[in-house]
């Protein structure tokens, strides 16, 4: 076999997108939450660069041929990413879900984080066994975040906890309930800036301050037994 056939690649930086933003999550929200979000169906977009999935997308090649925004079709991504580049596993971390740090209402963030996780388990993990999920948590409430980790952390292809960043350093005891739940479920913590941190009056900045340019993506991820 040649090198391409034997190389094992885990792509830990795959960002799926949901068409319609919150509107696309409505089937995964309770009726009361659907009514709550009625007429307010968008999360704030990245203030430092063009929309990731809009008309000025920086990744137009990810736009499905059948329509929809870039990164929104798991079937197209299966062919365009997994098979084209011989990806053994793709870890999904939703930058769209990371924008929850811009919400000042913890209850909204908790409900939407749960909906994001259920959406990706249903719509993406069911398509191909190579898809794995870094579940998102609402960092606004560490105890509720820990509950969410324990709710779905046992799922075989939930392989990490995506922790959106706020103005509390990661070594602070504030995060202990999250870390304890993640350790209990055998899940590493995954980090990735979204650009919404500190970019809106309703969101807090990074613990190190608001970036003055486009933040570069970066993950803290270690190979997990659930991903091969």
The C-alpha atoms of residue 36 and residue 101 are separated, in whole angstroms, by 19
User: What's this model's pTM, rounded to 2 decimal places?
Assistant: 0.84
77-108 per-position pLDDT tens digit? 999 999 999 999 999 999 899 989 888 899 99
- Bigger pLDDT: 209 vs 139: 139
pLDDT class of 26 with cuts at 50, 70, 90: very high
pLDDT for 15 equals 92
Q: Would you tell me how many other CB atoms lie within 10 Å of the CB of residue 47?
A: 12
Residue with the two structure tokens 């009726």: 31
Q: Cα(first)–Cα(last) distance of the chain, in Å?
A: 21
Q: How far apart are CA 127 and CA 189, in angstroms?
A: 24
Helices (H) and strands (E) in the chain, counts: 8, 5
* Dist. CA 20–CA 41, nearest whole Å: 8
């Amino acid at each position: 076999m040649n090198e391409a056939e034997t190389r094992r690649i885990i792509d830990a930086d795959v960002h799926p997108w949901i068409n319609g933003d919150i509107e696309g999550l409505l089937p995964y929200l309770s009726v009361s939450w659907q009514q709550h979000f009625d007429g307010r169906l968008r999360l704030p977009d990245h203030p430092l660069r063009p929309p990731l999935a809009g008309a000025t997308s920086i990744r137009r090649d990810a736009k499905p041929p059948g329509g929809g925004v870039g990164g929104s079709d798991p079937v197209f991504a299966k062919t365009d990413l997994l098979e084209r580049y011989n990806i053994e596993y793709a870890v999904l971390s939703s930058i769209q879900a990371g924008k929850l740090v811009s919400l000042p209402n913890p209850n909204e963030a908790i409900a939407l984080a749960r909906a994001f996780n259920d959406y990706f388990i249903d719509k993406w993990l069911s398509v191909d066994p190579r898809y794995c999920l870094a579940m998102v948590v609402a960092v606004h409430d560490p105890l509720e975040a820990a509950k969410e980790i324990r709710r779905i952390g046992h799922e075989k292809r939930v392989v990490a906890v995506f922790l959106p960043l706020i103005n509390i350093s990661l070594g602070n005891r504030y995060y202990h309930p999250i870390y304890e739940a993640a350790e209990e479920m055998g899940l590493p913590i995954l980090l990735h800036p979204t650009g919404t941190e500190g970019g809106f009056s309703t969101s807090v900045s990074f613990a190190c301050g608001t970036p003055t340019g486009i933040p570069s993506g970066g993950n803290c991820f270690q190979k997990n037994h659930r991903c091969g």
